[in-house]
Chains A and B, each alone.
Chain A
Amino acid sequence: MGTPDRGVDRRSFLKSAATVAAGGAAAVPAAAAALQEAGAPAGPPVLGPGPVPFSIRVNGKERALRLEPRATLLDALRGSCGVTGPKEVCDRGACGACTVLLDGAPVPSCMVLALDAEGRDVVSVEGLLGAADAPHPLHEAFVARDALQCGFCTPGMVMSCAGLLGRSVDPSPDEVRDAIAGNLCRCGTYPRVVEACRDAAAALRKGGK
C-alpha cells in the first residue's frame, strides 16, 4: 500500500492521472429519478429497452449519453465518447484489453454496463496523460522498455499496471504478473511489461510525477 512518507498514495497517483477521485455511485441514477418523477409505479425502476439518458465521467470530463441499457461501458467509451484507447477483443472479460479504472480499480469495461458507471470516475489510458499531454511514467516506461509490439493489448496492460501502482508503490515482479494476469498479449510482451511497470513505480517514488 502507498504510504504518504514515500510521497505517493492512491490519491496523489490518481491526481497525477488528471482525475479527481470521487466516492461511490450516485444514490439514484438520473434516468431512474426521471421515471419516478413521471409517476412510474413504486418499486425498482424499469429502464429501457429504448435509449436512456444518463451521464458518466470519463477522464475528468462529464459526458451526457443516451444509450440502451444493454450498452456496456466499453460501447459507451468507444462508440459515444470517442475514447478508443480501450480495445474490444473478447467482449466477455477474458482478455483485459478494455481495462479502465473505475473509481481507481481496474475493471474490464466490457463487463460493466454503461448505466452502472453513472456517477463514477472512469479513467482510460488516455486519462493518464498530464497537462499538455505530458506522458505518464507508465507511458514512458513502456516505450523505454519496448513493452509493446502491435500495441493492441497495451492500453489494457497500462491500465492494469496503473491500478496496481495506485495500491502499491514498489511492486515485486510477481505482484506485477498478478496485476496483469488477466491481460492477454499475443506478441509476447509480458516480461517487458513487468520491467516497465517496476520502472514506472521507481519513477513515481522519486516524485517525478
Chain B
Amino acid sequence: MAKRKTLVGFEGATREIEIEVPDGEPEVWGADARLRVVGGAVPRVDGFPKATGRAEYTADVAPPGMLHGRMLRAPSAGGTLLSLDLSAAAKAPGVKYAHPVAGPGTRIPLEGRDLAFLVADGEDRLEDALALCRFEIEPGPVVATVEDAVADGAPPVHPDRPGNARGGGGGRGNPGADFEGAEKAMRGADAVLERTYRTPVQVHTPLEPHGVVVRPDADGGITVFASTQGTFSVIDGIAGALRLERDRVRVVTENMGGGFGCKFGASAPGSSFGVEAARAAVALGAPVRAMFDRREEMLLGGNRPSSIQTVRIGVKKDGTVLGYTVRARGTAGIAERGAGVANPMIYDLGKQAKEEVAVLTHAGPAAAFRAPGHPQGSFALESALDEAADAIGMDPLELRMRIDRNPIRQAQYRLGAGRFGWAVARKVKPGAAPGPVKRGVGMGSAIWYQGGGPGSAVEVTVHRDGRVEVANGAQDIGTGTRTVLAVIVAEVLGLDPGEIRVRLGRTEWPSGPGSGGSTTAPSLGPCARAAAEAAREAILGEKPAAGPAAWRAACARMDGEKREFLGRRPPQYGQFQGGVAGVQFAEVEVDTETGVVRVVRVLAIQDCGRVVDRLTAESQVIGGVINGISMALFEERVLDRRTARMLHADLEGYRIAGAKDVPDIEAVMFEVANAGNSVGMMGLGEPPKVPTAGAIANAVFHATGARVRELPLSPARVLAALAEAGR
C-alpha cells in the first residue's frame, strides 16, 4: 500500500486528500485529471445493432433443431394438487417430453405454480399439448391482501408459518429498534405528526420476458442463452440440479431486454422453468427454448413488495427533526423476505427506529426492483417531511437544507432551486392557485451507496494490427456497460471508443458481477483501466499515447500475434463522500374536477462520481425518473380479494407510463471526483428512481392543498383527498 494525494470534490469545492492505494494501481483520476474522451457524449457502441434490429436477444436465438418448451401451470392459487395426468399430452403430435414437477399432495400457493414441463417441435403443437394435460386441484382458501393475511383465522400461506407474518424486512428482525428512545427524543418537538403511507405491489415488466435457450454441446456440457442480469448466477441453479461441472455450463447473454432486478439465477422468482428446460435439453439431446409469455411474466417474474408505513416524526420550529419512526408492513407474496422499506439515510432525523413485517400472501414472490425498498421508504419520508414543514410553516426545501449535512446535495439544492424556479413557484400557498386546474411543485432527494467492488477482471487483447478487444463475462443490461468500457480503454490507449471492440456476456470470459445494486459499471470500469494501462505500458513503454497511427506502428513491432492483459481492481478506496447524491424537483398539473395528475416537468440533478459517457449516463437518469413517474401515477397490481387471481396479468390492464405521460425531463449530471477507485465511478442505475414518486406527491399537495398518502396518485385517490381536505 502506498499513500497518494488526490484532488476530490466538485466544481467550486475541491480539496486534496490522502488515500491508501495498493502498489501497482493506476493513479486515480482526480478532479484535476485532463481526460480526452472520458466525460464526453459518446454514442452507445452497440447502438446500431439495436437500432437496426440486428442485435440478437435470447428470444431471437434459434439453434438448428430447436424444440419449444413451456410449463403447465396451476390456473389459480390455493389448495392441493390431487392428480396430474400427462399421458394424453405425451402422445400428442410433435410432443417430445412431458415431465411432472408437481405431484399429488403438492400445495398450490400461487396462481401459475409449476405443474409440468412439456417440450414439442413447435409453439402451436406445444399449446395444443398443454390443453391435453389433465389435473385435479382440491381448492383451498387464499389471502390476497396484507389485512386479510394477518386477520384471525387466516389460512397460512406456508403451513409452518401460521399468522403469515414474519418480523424484519430482511427476515432478520429489527434488533435494537428503540421506539421508546425515539419517542422520548420527540418530547421536545413543537410538532409530532403520525401519518400512514401506502404503496402497492409494482411489477417489473421488462419487455423481454424471462427466458432461456439451452443447447447441449458435444463435450457433455451445455450452453444456456439466458435473458439475465447475472450470467454467472445462471450457473448456480443449473450446475447443481443437473450435476454438471460448473465450467460445463456456459452462459451467453449477448443482449438482454430489461430486468430491473428480477432476472437472476437460472429461472424466475416464481418458477423453475429454466432448470427444467436444461433438464429437458440434456434428456432430449436437442436445444430447448423456453420463454415466458406475458401472463407468466406478470405473475411469476417478480415484483416490488407493497408497504403500509406508519410514520411518526417530531420536528422543532427551527426545522430540527428530533425523531423519526416507521412501523412497516408489506407483502412479498409467497416470499418470506424482502418486504422491507428503506429509510434512505439522507437526512439527520434525530433518533430513528424502524420495524418491518413481511406478510405472506398467495401471490407471486417479490424480487429486487430498481432501488429495492427505497422508493417506498422515500415516498413516506419525503411526504412526512413535507407535512412536517407545513406544520411548522417552513418551506419544504429549506427544511431539507437544514437537516442534510451532505455538501454535494447542499450544492445540488442551490443549483436546482435556481434552475427550477423553486422560490417563485412556492410563493403560491398550497392549494391557493386559482381555477380548477392547478399547478404545484415538490421535491425529494436521492442517495445510493455503492461504487462496485473486487471479484471481477477485464481482459484487454491487443492484436498485431492494432485492434483492441475488451472482454468480460458479465452482461450489458442496457445501461451502456460496453460503451463505458470502450471509453475508458480508448482514453488510456489514445484511441477512439469506436475502435475498441467490447465483448460482454459469456461466462467463458473473465469473471464479472451480476447487475444488481448499480455495481456493474463501477466494478468493471477500474478493471478495464488497469488492463488498458498494462497494455499501454507493454506496447508503448514510457511514451505517451499519441493517437491511432502511433499505436498501430507500435503494435506492428510486438512479439507474437496478440497480447493479453488482465486487469483487476481493489476494494473501494477511502472516499471524499460515501455514496452518491441527487435531488429532484417536479412540477405537476392537477385537474381538481377529474382528479387527473399530469407531470409537467422534472429536473433531476444526479451525482454518479465520474461521468464516463454523458449520453448513457443521462439516459439512466431519465429512465429512473420515468420509472418513478410510472410508480407515482399508474402502477398497481390488483388481485381479486377472494381468489387472489391477478386481474390484469397483461400490458393492457397493468398500466405503465407511455410516451404521452412523460414530460420534458432535464437530467443534469453533477460530476464529483470521489477517489473511490481509479476511475472515480459510482453506481447510477438506481438512485434516480428513489425520490421521484415522493417529489410528485409533494407537488400534488402544493397544487391542491390535499395530501394523497397512497400510491398511485390515481384520480379516485386525488378526488378523495380533495374531499377530505374540504377542497
Contact B51 A154 (CB under 8 A): yes
A143-B44, A146-B615, A150-B477 known; A192+B622 contact, CB < 8 A: yes
Contact A189 B50 (CB under 8 A): no
Contact B619 A192 (CB under 8 A): yes
Interface of chain A: mostly helix, strand, loop or mixed:
loop
Is B686 an interface residue when CB atoms closer than 8 A count as contact?
no
Nearest B residue (CB) for A136: B52
Pick the contact of B650: A71, A90, A185 (CB < 8 A).
Answer: A90
Contact B664 A191 (CB under 8 A): yes
Contact A150 B53 (CB under 8 A): no
Which residues, 142 to 193 on A, are CB-close (under 8 Å) to B? 142-144, 146, 148-155, 158, 176-178, 180-193
The total number of A-B Cβ pairs within 8 Å is 166
Is B317 an interface residue when CB atoms closer than 8 A count as contact?
no
Is A120 an interface residue when CB atoms closer than 8 A count as contact?
no
> Can you list, as one digit per residue, whether each of B471-490 has a CB less than 8 Å from chain A (1) or not (0)?
00000011110000000000
Is B294 an interface residue when CB atoms closer than 8 A count as contact?
yes
Contact B257 A152 (CB under 8 A): yes
Which residue of B43, B47, B294, B622 has the most chain A CB atoms within 10 A of its CB atom? B47
Chain B: minimal CB distance from A106 (Å)? 14
Interface size on B, residues (CB 8 A): 55
In the bound assembly, the distance between CA atoms of A201 and B497 in angstroms comes to 28
Is B258 an interface residue when CB atoms closer than 8 A count as contact?
yes
> Can you list, as one digit per residue, whether each of A72-93 has a CB less than 8 Å from chain B (1) or not (0)?
0001001100101111111110
> Can you list, as one digit per residue, whether each of B380-413 has a CB less than 8 Å from chain A (1) or not (0)?
0000000000000000000000000000000000
Contact A146 B616 (CB under 8 A): yes
In the bound assembly, the distance between CA atoms of A202 and B294 in angstroms comes to 37
Is A194 an interface residue when CB atoms closer than 8 A count as contact?
yes
Is A45 an interface residue when CB atoms closer than 8 A count as contact?
no
In the bound assembly, the distance between CA atoms of A183 and B477 in angstroms comes to 20
Is B660 an interface residue when CB atoms closer than 8 A count as contact?
yes
In the bound assembly, the distance between CA atoms of A178 and B661 in angstroms comes to 11
In the bound assembly, the distance between CA atoms of A182 and B48 in angstroms comes to 23
Nearest A residue (CB) for B50: A151
Pick the contact of B52: A75, A129, A190, A191 (CB < 8 A).
Answer: A129
Chain A: minimal CB distance from B524 (Å)? 18
In the bound assembly, the distance between CA atoms of A75 and B126 in angstroms comes to 14
Contact B52 A177 (CB under 8 A): no
Contact A180 B208 (CB under 8 A): no
Interface size on A, residues (CB 8 A): 59
In the complex, which residues of chain A have a beta carbon less than 8 angstroms from the beta carbon of B258?
Answer: 149-150, 152, 186-187
Which residue of B44, B48, B260, B659 has the most chain A CB atoms within 10 A of its CB atom? B659
Chain A: minimal CB distance from B670 (Å)? 19
In the complex, which residues of chain A have a beta carbon less than 8 angstroms from the beta carbon of B57?
Answer: 87, 151-152
In the complex, which residues of chain A have a beta carbon less than 8 angstroms from the beta carbon of B662?
Answer: 188, 190-191
B residues neighboring A (CB under 8 Å): 43-44, 46-48, 50-57, 59-60, 62, 123-124, 204-209, 255-258, 260, 293-294, 477-480, 615-616, 618-619, 622-627, 650-652, 656, 658-660, 662, 664-665
A residues neighboring B (CB under 8 Å): 68, 70-71, 75, 78-79, 82, 84-92, 94-95, 97, 124-126, 128-129, 133, 135, 138-139, 142-144, 146, 148-155, 158, 176-178, 180-194
Name the 5 nearest CB pairs between A and B, nearest first.
Answer: A85-B53, A152-B257, A150-B478, A188-B623, A151-B50
